Amino acid sequence: MALLTYQEELPHRASITLATPLDQDFVTNEMLHRLRPEGTKASKMKFNKAVSGSRRKNRARHFNAPSHIRRKIMSSPLSKELRAKYNVRSMPVRKDDEVQVVRGHYKGQQLGKVVQVYRKKFVVYIERIQREKANGATVHVGIHPSKCVIVKLKLDKDRKKILERKAFSRTKAMAEKGKYTEETMES
């Protein structure tokens, strides 16, 4: 039988003391879950050995990501109306999209058009979101796309194709899960 103990000097980490090496089989995730101090999150399990779960490596890959990957990282959720219309949850933000800031100092202000997508800094510049520098010049304030909601999409044929592809895969996945009935699939 396994003896479960808890390290006092490291309250965020639970340690397991085993009576014999054979008892390792009896330690379940539920036992580990009970050991975890209240208020701390359980880490998600990682199933793919080829993917690193290391915080350091994930941060390194994020900040050294090439431009085509930064495009996907710099996605914004769509507004409820657009989500219902296109059946897509989020899209990479681009110049001339209309967005609304929903987090941070500039949240809740009127809608603004995206003036520039600055992939190098992971920010977008929005029409009326500016501040004054010490010398009196006005500059755009960079906002991370995850803190915005796309209210109006700039559509061209490529973007329409992306929307159709994403909507198709989403309906296919929902159908496999059984979340849709046959009537909703036909309409």
Which segments in the chain show pLDDT lower than 70? 1-37, 42-43, 180-187
Predicted pLDDT of residue 1: 47
Predicted pLDDT of residue 126: 96
CATH of 76-153, one of 2.30.30.30, 4.10.410.60, 1.10.3720.10, 3.90.180.10: 2.30.30.30
Stretch(es) of the chain classified as CATH 2.30.30.30: 76-153
pTM above 0.75, yes or no: no
Extract the tokens encoding 142. 């960079």
Predicted pLDDT of residue 23: 55
Q: In angstroms, rounded to a whole number, what is the distance separating the alpha carbons of residues 115 and 6? A: 53
CA distances from 25 to 7, 20, 28, 29, 31 (A): 21, 11, 8, 11, 12
Extract the tokens encoding 101. 């800031």
